[in-house]
Chains A and B, each alone.
Chain A
Amino acid sequence: MTPTTTETLSSHAGGLKLWLERYPFLPALIIVVALLALNGAFSPNSLGYRSLTGLLSTYMALIMLAIAQTYVVSAGDIDLSAGATLSLVNVAIVVLMEKWGGGAGAVVGAMLLGVLLGLVCGVINGIVVAALRLQAIVATFATSIFFTGVALYVMPVAGTPAPALFWRTYGGRLLGLPFVFYVLAALALLLFLLSRTRLVTQLLAVGDDQQAAYQTGLPVVLIRIKGYALCGLFSALAAFCLTGDTASGDPLVGGKMTLYSVAAVVLGGSALAGGWTTVVGSLLGALTIGLVNSLVFFMGTPSEWQNFVQGLAILFVLMAGVLAGRRARA
């Protein structure tokens, strides 16, 4: 082997590494594009404008929840109560909107209180995990049961409809464009602004090496609580999207979404151990889950095998993403 080839090889690998370092969501993006192409190959209609808008409006809630999860994962924590927080905010805003008459004022008022409620749930988690130093995975599992209990108290049976104004806006159009595009644009702006704050860098520093962060003088406990608060905030936003898509309250709706949100974070290329995360990746990870579910159907998988194939496909995507990510960090 001549020195020149070694050089080109290493510079090539270095280039890939550089790219992945700057854009850690690249593998996830490639996977999403591939899944879109596959969906399109099996069912051309699924790439239509209408279908893609539908995909986005249905999975926007999971996207938000995955982003919520990303911020706590950044600091090396986890939140198994994100789905329960979503359920609680969902039933709370639906009940409040109904109580206040369902007008524009009621919708805005309920949403403000919903954000506040999400923040409170997040801060409770933060205090339990960071200040009281309980293991995040068990402590947030416990708070998830607690939040579900409160949600069942607020609304004992699924069913209260959300005001038409709310869900017609979410599912409708504004200036000729589907409203969900504006939600996506607003989310992108919010993520951009957040990425420039010191908090996100601090969360990553804590996740990378908590001891080192502490020794450099960072208020680790406070930072982790703030991470959970951010998670609560985005869980509340997720609840708004879910309410917009389902037009009703359901005290148990988010329960199944929690683990999907964790899966989306990992599929997106973040490391669960913390210190290396990408919110854009999590967004793509949530879409990956949605696209895999659709693909399993469009491929014509027999119904008795659908669960099996779906699990296998997610596992496969996970492996592909993790291998690419590991290479970049190696």
Chain B
Amino acid sequence: MKKLIAIALGTVASIAISASLANAETFKIGLSNGWVGSEWRTQMIDEAKAAAEKWKEKGVDVEVSVQSANVDVPGQIAHVRNFIAEGVNAIIVNPNSPTAFDPIFAQAKEAGILVIATDAEVSSPDATYVGIDQTAWGAAGAKWLAETLGGKGKVVAINGVAGHPANEMRVAGYKQVFKDYPDIQVVNEVNANWDQAQGQQAMQNILATYPDVNGVVVQDGMAAGAWKSIMDAGKTGQIAATGEIRKDFIDLWSKDKLNSGATVNPPGVMASALNVAVLMLQGKELKEPATAGQYKNAMYLPIPFIDSKNLADAAKQVDGKPGYYSYTSALSIEDAEALFK
């Protein structure tokens, strides 16, 4: 017990010393992730941590503390409460619900904490969203498909989870685009719940029902499965379909010369959000205030796109990484600085 106390005292002392030695700017940022079901989320957090390290070169000490676990909505609210108790300067959340955080974000703001949501938009007026516009994400894939097909043909859509906000926005995005191409005919839309196996099965059913289909709009997380069905049916050369940004798919794409294009939802969004947060903590002001989106609190990041033209570059970026690694991009500190006055 005595030993334990000694260790505890030692730690306290060393923390106190390191705090007093830090003459540079020091910011404490809490990262909360409420779902650990995919490698994408793990990569998101790793990139954000790396981005925080980079600030050291600028003489800014960014200390991140991470809460990442499978939790229900109250559990993630508790994440935010813990951060408030810890006295962080900013909180960056990949939220489990678009609306449930309104009251707790209000409390965080009251406590003088900057709140940023990333990857999924939140309705709270006390938070800023830094991430991609999911509607534009859906539109980009559809635009690539329409142009690849020369503006005409039969198209099917394989969507994610019905009722999920991001899915609804992506669907609205491709619908908007196809309106401008009167000769593109959307013959069917199915839900495959962002699941590779369900995507594969949905594509099998589609190929059986519509043997003359020309194009497929399929979201990431299901596209590899859908492509497997296309390849199994021997239709690789005849069908154009959207793809994935994971390394294993990019490899397959390069090897088999698939006619594919992938809108990138980069795991680097949290790193971008972190860079924006640090600049905001330094008291800088955005050139254009974040007022986009349905909740009027969004700052949208550019959305990269991979197609046959830049596939080789993308393959180079993910070269040597494990198969689950996703192609990524993030605002560098300089990129972020350019957005501020």
**Chain A residues with a Cβ under 8 A of chain B:** 41, 43, 45-46, 48, 50-51, 54-55, 58-59, 61-62, 152, 156-161, 167, 171, 242, 245-251, 253-257, 260, 290, 293-294, 296-298, 300, 302-304, 306-307, 310
Contacts and interface: CB of A to CB of B under 8 A. Distances in A.
A288 to B, nearest CB: 13
Contacts of B81: 51, 54-55, 58
Contacts of A304: 42, 68
B168 to A, nearest CB: 7
Given A250-B99, A260-B72, A300-B65, 5 more contacts: A48-B85, A59-B78, A247-B99, A294-B78, A303-B68
Given A62-B74, A293-B78, A304-B42, A46 B103 contact: no
B153 interface: no
B97 A158 contact: yes
B279 interface: no
Binding site secondary structure of chain A: helix
8 contacts: A62-B74, A246-B97, A246-B101, A256-B70, A294-B78, A294-B82, A303-B45, A303-B66
Interface in B149-170: 162-165, 168
A310 B65 CA distance: 17
B170 to A, nearest CB: 14
Q: Name the residue in B74, B81, B123 with the highest tally of chain A Cβ atoms < 10 Å from its Cβ.
A: B74
A160 B102 CA distance: 12
Given A41-B8, A51-B85, A293 B99 contact: no
Interface in B39-72: 42, 45, 65-72
Interface size classification for chain B: 35 or more
Interface string B95-121: 001111111100100000000000000
A45 B73 contact: no
B302 interface: no
Contacts of A248: 97, 99-100, 102, 123
B86 interface: yes
A161 B67 contact: no
A161 B99 CA distance: 7
